[in-house]
Amino acid sequence: MSTQATQTRPGPSGASRLGALLRLRELPVTVALVALVIVTAAVNPLFLSPQGMKDLMLNATIMMLLAAGQTMVIVTRNIDLSVGSILGLVAFGTGSIFAAVPTMPIWLVLLVGVGFGALLGSLNGLLTVWAKVPSLVITLGTLYVFRGVNNGWAGPRQFFAGDRPEAFGNLSVDTLLGVPIITVLALAVVIVLAVYLAGARSGRDLYAIGSDPEAARLFGINTSTRVFTAFLVNGALAGLAGVLYASRFNAVGATTGSGLELDVVAAAVVGGVAIFGGSGTVIGAAIGAILLNTITSSLTALRVDKFWQQAIVGVLIITAILIDRLASLRHAKHLREREGRNV
């Protein structure tokens, strides 16, 4: 039935293209972001000054990377709660590397960080796939284990920006066409991931697994390998985010990145990623991350009491889920009606 429906779907006429645009899952979050920026800029023009824009981008960079990686995992109907701990471990590792070998080339440190993150992520993937235990439980466990290792390793020690080479810190100061280098890097990664998830066969498989794991297996998709890969990539992105964190922020220590995990999931949900898998895009999640970070800055620019910020973020998340629910109800009704007509 459904295959017939796709075949008889009319070609991309003007009206249906508009319809498709209106059904985009990223639409609500994009509209919210644009509206927020316009309103804030109208009230406080300094908000969109070059420096203001740069701050916005810098603040969103790390969350954007994490949300993009998390999307890959959530799409397969899994979740990774350990990303905050992975980020912390890698950020502290970066600090230690520079403290031990200050002359280490930056590209090598980036590579080591990504590799370290991928290793930790693959541990999550291995445990989830092999033990067939829900990833929520496994990654809740590794959240504590990785954090404990970080605590034991760092103790009371902290590394400060002064311990790192100036060129490394400059990654988050220098700009390319007005965009900070680390943001350019993050954007590139997000775009590559988006293209992969939208176009590549193995990327589409992830959606199939998330929609119905059993059907995906029967269809011949190697679900274990795909899910494992999703965790590995997510770990690698968290590792990259960890290195960039060490470049962006002054101090890295035992508690770096703790508590980030739920913010990351929230960013993905706000960006239209369904929490039970099967739909959502990396771009949407990245926009969600930008929105959540921008709210903080724009509320400050609007002189809203800073204590209201978190409550507003909460309202935003719930609104995003409500919108998603309404849209899926409408879509289901639409499908039912069409089926009825076809019979």
Partner 1 sequence: MSEHATVAVDTTAPLADVVPVRGPRWYAGRDATMVYILLAFLAYAALSIPRFASPVTTGFLLLDVVPTLLIAMPMTLIIVTGEIDLSVASIAGLSSAVLGVAWASGTGIWVSIFLALGAGLLAGIFNGVLVAYVGLPSLAVTIGTLALFRGLALVVIGDNAVANFPNEITALASAKLGTSGIPLVILPVVFVVLVFGLVLHHTAFGRGLYAMGYSKDAAHFVGINVGNSKFWLYVASGLVSAAAGVFWTLRYTSARSDNASGLELTVIAAVLLGGVSIFGGKGSIPGVLAGVLLIGSLNYALRLGRVSDVVLVTVTGLLLIASVIAPSVSAAVGRWRHSQRLRRHLARDQGAEPG
State the residue for tokens 């800055």: 297
Nearest to 203 by CA among 93, 343, 71, 40: 71
Contacting partner 1 (CB under 8 A), which of 5, 133, 215, 335? Answer: 133
CB of 51 to partner 1, least distance (A): 27
Stretch that binds partner 1, among 4-12, 34-42, 223-231, 262-270 (CB under 8 A): 262-270
Ranges of beta strands (E only) in the chain are 175-176, 179-180
Q: Which positions from 45 to 84 touch partner 1 by CB under 8 A, shown as an x/- string?
A: ----------------------------------x-x---
Does residue 140 interact with partner 1 by CB under 8 A?
A: yes
DSSP structure class, residue 155 = T
Does residue 130 interact with partner 1 by CB under 8 A?
A: yes
Residue (292 or 301) nearer to partner 1, CB? 292
CB of 161 to partner 1, least distance (A): 24
Does residue 309 interact with partner 1 by CB under 8 A?
A: yes
Does residue 214 interact with partner 1 by CB under 8 A?
A: no
Residue (127 or 232) nearer to partner 1, CB? 127
- Three-state secondary structure string covering 159-224: ECHHHCCHHHHHCCCCEECCEEHHHHHHHHHHHHHHHHHHHCHHHHHHHHHHHCHHHHHHCCCCHH
Does residue 262 interact with partner 1 by CB under 8 A?
A: yes
Q: What are the counts of helices (DSSP H) followed by strands (DSSP E) for the chain?
A: 15, 2
Does residue 155 interact with partner 1 by CB under 8 A?
A: yes
- Encoded tokens for 160: 């400060």
Does residue 190 interact with partner 1 by CB under 8 A?
A: no
CB of 305 to partner 1, least distance (A): 8
Distance, CA of 146 to chain centre: 20
Contacting partner 1 (CB under 8 A), which of 138, 185, 227, 246? Answer: 138
Residue (20 or 322) nearer to partner 1, CB? 322
**Contact set for partner 1, span 274-293 (CB under 8 A):** 275-276
Stretch that binds partner 1, among 138-146, 205-213, 220-228, 333-341 (CB under 8 A): 138-146
CB of 218 to partner 1, least distance (A): 21
Please give the C-alpha separations between residue 115 and each of 62, 126, 252, 289, in angstroms, as whole numbers: 17, 16, 19, 24
Stretch that binds partner 1, among 44-52, 87-95, 127-135, 166-174 (CB under 8 A): 127-135
CB of 127 to partner 1, least distance (A): 7
Q: Taking a C-beta distance cutoff of 8 angstroms, is the pair 58, 50 a contact?
A: no
Q: Taking a C-beta distance cutoff of 8 angstroms, is the pair 147, 158 a contact?
A: no
- DSSP string computed for 129-149: HHHT--HHHHHHHHHHHHHHH
Q: How far apart are CA 107 and CA 142, in angstroms?
A: 28
Does residue 303 interact with partner 1 by CB under 8 A?
A: no
Strand-pairing partners, residue 176, are 179
Q: How far apart are CA 42 and CA 181, in angstroms?
A: 28
Does residue 208 interact with partner 1 by CB under 8 A?
A: no
Does residue 29 interact with partner 1 by CB under 8 A?
A: no
The vertex-22 CA angle with 20 and 28, nearest 5°, equals: 135
Gyration radius from the chain CA atoms:
21
Q: How many residues in total does the chain contain?
A: 343
Question: Which residues lie near partner 1 (CB under 8 A)?
Answer: 79, 81, 127, 130-134, 136-138, 140-149, 151-152, 155, 254, 258-259, 262, 265-266, 269, 275-276, 305, 307-318, 321-322, 325
